[in-house]
Amino acid sequence: MALARAGSDVAINHLDDDANAESVVSSIQQLGRRSMHVNADVALSERVEALVSRTLQSFGRIDILICNAGICPFADFMDIEEAQWDRVLAVNLKGVFLTSQAVARHMTARQGGGRIVATGSISSLVGGSKQAHYCASKAGENLLIKSMALSLAPHGITCNAVLPGTVETDINRSALADPALRAHLEEGTPLGRLGQPVDVTSAVLWLASKEAAWTTGSLVVVDGGATSTLQ
């Protein structure tokens, strides 16, 4: 929605929530922007190719890619099964690779430059007893973004990541309903509150804009100062 308000036509990708995707598409169209949605598992190359193809058929070009798909099934290190490990790495890391490569091929072919922005996490900078698979995937994403920045810079394509702290969303809302956990997280955040999606979108919009044309390979931490207390 923030990208649409800033003037972008937006293709929405989702895994299995048609109703929500259609609602977002409708809201974007009410702003006078074009929008459509695709159902694609970003861990599968053929689905990613279909996602990019459908978007190009609808819009003709892709200027901005936001790699935002991610999962975090909390589990103690000793309880993580191989299948769960593989799935987290496939979505969170391989998914960024596949979508970025597919879109970058289009961007380089049309020679118009572009912006790639990934949603990372401060969990890429610190460990988590119940997030070993997630932390590993996000740490890998950091260096993937930096490597992509080097490879794609000659084509005018910038690659950056936003690393949020604890942001209240559907993925963690039930856990944050625990007053003790919420208070603990808020106390560990110098700015005294948990993040909201708008805190992240502000950074994303800047990285996707012309004003960030000389910024690439950067990891922008948006966490209310949480990681500053760990340094």
Q: For the segment 20-67, what is each residue's pLDDT rounded down to a tens digit?
A: 999 999 999 999 999 999 999 999 999 999 999 999 999 999 999 999
Q: Is the pLDDT of residue 190 over 90?
A: yes
Domain-located, residue 105: yes
* Termini Cα distance of the chain: 35
CB atoms within 10 A of CB 18: 10
Determine the pLDDT at residue 231: 52
The helix or strand, by DSSP H or E, that contains position 221, with its residue range, turns out to be strand 219-222
Tell me, rounded to whole angstroms, the distance of Cα 7 from its chain centroid: 20
- Is the pLDDT higher at 2 or at 169? 2
Domain-located, residue 80: yes
Determine the pLDDT at residue 163: 98
Domain-located, residue 56: no
**Using the 8-state DSSP alphabet, how is residue 189 labeled?**
S
Pairwise CA distance, residues 13 & 41, whole Å:
9
Domain-located, residue 58: no
Domain-located, residue 175: yes
Determine the pLDDT at residue 172: 85
Domain-located, residue 127: yes
Determine the pLDDT at residue 97: 98
| Residue 205: domain span | 64-230
* CATH code, 86: 3.40.50.720
Determine the pLDDT at residue 83: 98
> Could you tell me what percent of the chain has a pLDDT over 90?
94
Q: How many domains does the chain have?
A: 1
Indicate the angle between helix axes 45-59 and 95-110, nearest 10 degrees: 40
Domain-located, residue 196: yes
Name the band, by pLDDT with cuts 50, 70 and 90, for residue 229: confident
> Could you tell me what percent of the chain has a pLDDT over 70?
99
Name the band, by pLDDT with cuts 50, 70 and 90, for residue 103: very high
Sequential DSSP letters for 125-144: TS--TT-HHHHHHHHHHHHH
pTM value is 0.95
Over residues 96-125, the mean pLDDT reads 97
Active site residues: 121, 134, 138
Q: Which of 149, 119, 140, 87 has its CA nearest to residue 221?
A: 119
Domain-located, residue 84: yes
